[in-house]
């Protein structure tokens, strides 16, 4: 352990921490765009810079290791002024689109501009003028809103391990893009949407997003029902409708999802979805109560078993059920019905 001082507060921390980690552990909030505790520290955006006594420049706190006796200020006048300058430079090349931007309300650029009182483009220089890439079926990319934090690229490389995107061009024209600007659809992107979940601004957005603002939705934690991994989800629910999905943090998925968990939720409110059992009477399907449906199933199964024996049955269960449901299903077939004809769709 080493000791240092942050904003006048004496802090004990492990020697292998960064200044940002030590500050956060002490409850001191430092703004970040490119930092993500799952990724290798990168130091791209500089918004997390701090003042360290005896150091000439303002180092990025997310890449600077702590050292014994450091005296750090996270919100001194000099630091705040530097952050305002960084935000002004970002705004000078950003569409001031917050009124209608889908990210409004959960955008770090918007939040920090509010916090640091940066309102407008004071430089009036050239701006990006890139075409929007809507070629991926699930999400779209507006390079004009990209702040080049490179989080999406690192998530795709380091966590998703696909490497579909990178930084194109250099200098003013640097932006996240696809090889040879071929468009997302033509890369090896698997549409997991993990870059979309990580983007701190509105450059990467889901296409199927229904209109909502963050303060209009309740967040409901749940477990993805698509497979047995048990990824944690945060559903955004507006007036009883799921309007978006964010990956949950921590075990087992650590903020990541696959394409199904991230984007495949329109079935929840789909008109074709069955909400009550249907029973066929005289060749026509009609709605029935659960009691009526179960009684009919039991009756037909008893008749079939009496006529043809237990091996006339076969049960096929689903990877979308929980382990416990699958256990009960095979128990039902083996112990109650009396057949070993039971299998699982995952063996396809």
| Inter-residue contact 139 to 206 (CB < 8 Å) | yes
Cβ atoms within 10 Å, residue 166:
15
The answer to whether 202 contacts ligand SF4 (rule: CB under 6 A) is yes
Whose Cβ is closer to ligand SF4: residue 73's or residue 186's?
Answer: 186
In whole angstroms, how large is the CA radius of gyration of the chain?
A: 27
The single residue among 48, 107, 113, 192 that binds ligand FES, judged by CB under 6 A, is: 48
The one of ligand FES, ligand SF4, none whose footprint includes residue 103, by CB under 5 to 8 A per kind, is ligand SF4
How far, in Å, CA of 291 to CA of 56, rounded? 76
Whose Cβ is closer to ligand SF4: residue 66's or residue 146's?
Answer: 146
- In the chain, where does DSSP find H-type helix? 19-25, 77-91, 108-115, 151-154, 194-198, 259-263, 290-308, 323-331
Cβ atoms within 10 Å, residue 230:
13
* DSSP 8-state code for residue 60: B
What does the block give as tokens for 74? 């996270």
What does the block give as tokens for 265? 């939720």
The single residue among 23, 46, 74, 246 that binds ligand FES, judged by CB under 6 A, is: 46
The single residue among 162, 174, 339, 341 that binds ligand SF4, judged by CB under 6 A, is: 162
The one of ligand FES, ligand SF4, none whose footprint includes residue 48, by CB under 5 to 8 A per kind, is ligand FES
State the nearest-atom distance from the C-beta of 73 to ligand FES, in Å. Answer: 16
Q: What are φ and ψ of residue 214, in 5° steps?
A: -55, -35
The one of ligand FES, ligand SF4, none whose footprint includes residue 201, by CB under 5 to 8 A per kind, is ligand SF4
User: Which range in 70-78, 201-209, 226-234, 340-348 contacts ligand SF4 by CB under 6 A?
Assistant: 201-209
Q: State the residues that interact with ligand SF4 by CB under 6 A.
A: 94-95, 97-98, 101, 103-104, 107, 109-110, 145-152, 155-156, 160, 162, 164-165, 176, 189-195, 198-199, 201-204
């Amino acid at each position: 352990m080493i000791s240092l001082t942050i904003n006048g507060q004496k802090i004990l921390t492990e020697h292998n921490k960064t200044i940002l980690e030590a500050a956060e552990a002490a409850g001191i909030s430092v703004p970040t765009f490119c930092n993500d505790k799952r990724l290798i520290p990168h130091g791209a955006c500089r918004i997390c810079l701090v003042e360290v006594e005896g150091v000439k420049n303002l180092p990025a706190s997310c890449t600077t290791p702590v050292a014994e006796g450091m005296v750090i200020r996270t919100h001194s006048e000099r630091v705040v002024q530097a952050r305002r300058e960084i935000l002004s430079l970002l705004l000078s090349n950003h569409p001031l689109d917050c009124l209608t931007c889908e990210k409004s309300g959960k955008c770090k650029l918007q939040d920090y501009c509010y916090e640091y009182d940066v309102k407008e483009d004071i430089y009036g220089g050239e701006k990006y003028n890139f075409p929007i890439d809507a070629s991926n079926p699930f999400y779209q990319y507006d390079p004009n809103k990209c702040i080049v934090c490179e989080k999406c690229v690192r998530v795709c490389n380091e966590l998703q391990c696909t490497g579909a995107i990178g930084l194109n061009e250099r200098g003013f024209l640097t932006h996240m893009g696809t090889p040879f600007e071929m468009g997302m659809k033509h890369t090896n992107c698997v549409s997991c949407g993990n870059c979309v979940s990580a983007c701190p601004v509105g450059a990467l957005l889901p296409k199927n997003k229904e209109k909502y603002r963050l303060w209009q939705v309740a967040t409901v934690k749940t477990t993805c029902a698509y497979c047995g991994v048990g990824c944690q989800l945060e559903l955004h629910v507006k007036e009883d409708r799921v309007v978006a999905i964010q990956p949950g943090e921590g075990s087992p998925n650590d903020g990541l999802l696959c394409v199904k968990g991230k984007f495949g939720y329109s079935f929840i409110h789909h008109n074709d979805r069955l909400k009550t059992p249907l029973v066929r009477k005289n060749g026509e399907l009609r709605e029935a109560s659960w009691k009526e449906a179960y009684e009919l199933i039991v009756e037909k199964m008893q008749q079939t078993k009496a006529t043809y024996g237990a091996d006339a049955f076969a049960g096929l269960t689903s990877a979308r059920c929980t382990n416990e449901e699958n256990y009960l299903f095979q128990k039902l077939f083996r112990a109650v019905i009396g057949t070993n004809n039971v299998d699982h769709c995952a063996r396809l």
